[in-house]
Amino acid sequence: MNRIEKAFSLLKENNKKAFVPYIMAGDGGLEVLVDRLVLLERFGATAIEVGVPFSDPVADGPTIQQAGLRALENGTTLKEIISVLEKAREVVTIPIILMTYLNPIYAYGINEFVKDIRQAGVDGCIIPDLPIEEEEMIAPQLEEVQLELIRLVTLTTPLERIKTIASKGRGFLYMVTVKGITGERKEYDEQLYQFLQLVKQVSPIPVMAGFGISNKHQISEITAYCDGVIVGSKVVDLFEQDDLGELENLMSIFKQESNIM
């Protein structure tokens, strides 16, 4: 049982929901990454998703794309990110999940990548452009060293495929809440809540909702049907604006409104 499983097991025991913020490594410079991770843990994050900047993202909306471009302009590399995360692990106790695309992993070398992120204290990976049909290229290596591959399902994923995907993981299932890219949304279709309920019924592991979630009203509604939320664009925006007070307030409101740990 790695840190991700332990965190969600503890939440379940205490009947609480999870809050996972997303940040882009290298946005603002890699020198601020450790401080931001420490800050998010102090503000109440259950785990933290750390994005790796990539020139051709398939899932990222404008806010996260711009953060990725800023990080690339700063010269951020995957190897440097992993090195900084190893330093962060000395002071950060909650799970760290690395979000990257397949090309950077290929360029790095799959076996080398798995070895290095494990040594750095990373607990899992999200690879949006890796379908389950192709995941044998990396999933066994991750599993061997108890690193979790976080898999995604969407509103258009057939039920039987959802069951298959959910049966493979031990951490949590990432439920994409929109038919599109990341970015803040004013409201969600009623279909989302019905679909979340269905996914929750068939998944043997916790279900986390992400994409577009940015306010306490959305949190309250969505977490009635799942185990927690992943918030990216709003967090990235607040760091870019250097509005740490509003970030703390936002996460405090989420914790209060949704019983998030």
Q: At what angle do helices 78-88 and 33-42 cross, to 10 degrees?
A: 50
220-233 CB burial, b ≥16 within 10 A, e <16: ebbbebbbbbbbbb
**Residue among 193, 255, 178, 260 nearest 224 (CA):** 193
Residue 259 burial class via C-beta count within 10 angstroms: exposed 0-12, middle 13-18, buried 19 and up: middle
Q: Choose, from 27, 60, 116, 123, the residue flagged as catalytic.
A: 60
Is there a domain that residue 5 lies in?
no
Q: Average pLDDT of the chain? A: 90
Say whether 243 is catalytic: no
Is there a domain that residue 31 lies in?
yes
pLDDT, one tens digit per residue, over 95-130 is 999 999 999 999 999 999 999 999 999 999 999 999
Is there a domain that residue 260 lies in?
no
Is there a domain that residue 259 lies in?
no
Is there a domain that residue 6 lies in?
no
Provide the H-helix boundaries in 14-124.
33-42, 62-73, 78-88, 102-108, 110-120
Domain that holds residue 100: 17-254
- Say which range, 121-135, 178-192, 220-234, 246-260, has the weakest mean pLDDT: 178-192
Q: Higher confidence at residue 30 or residue 254? A: 30
Q: Which two tokens stand for residue 86?
A: 């190893």
Q: Choose, from 5, 27, 41, 49, the residue flagged as catalytic.
A: 49
Is there a domain that residue 4 lies in?
no
Is the predicted pLDDT of residue 213 greater than 70, yes or no?
A: yes
Count of domains in the chain? 1
Is there a domain that residue 12 lies in?
no
What H or E segment, with its residue span, contains residue 196? helix 190-202
Say whether 60 is catalytic: yes
CATH number of the CATH domain containing 246: 3.20.20.70
